[in-house]
Amino acid sequence: MVTRTATVRNQYGIHVRPSAVIVKQAREYSGKITVASDRGTTIDAKNLLGIISLGLTADQQVTITVAGPDEEKWAATMAELFEYNFDFKR
């Protein structure tokens, strides 16, 4: 199990479109990926409504936990997605 912290960099937060990108990537992983907000809510990263429900805003931190094969690689990939500055408008 690998845990990594990421800071949301997207100025509009992680709304529907970025959430869809994150979930699409997470669903390619055969193991388990969870995301915990700094507000204490933990969700499955493969669940679109779960990601949206976190209500992540710019500069908010999340903790990503990966369990399964290639944990380090997938933890880094997921952290990059949460830190990516998407150019989607709200």
Is-catalytic flag, 27? no
Element (H or E) spanning 19, and its range? Answer: helix 16-26
- Interatomic CA distance for residues 9 and 85, integer angstroms: 6
Residue pair 46/26 in contact by the 8 Å Cβ criterion:
yes
Catalytic-role residue among 10, 13, 15, 37: 15
Active-site positions read: 15
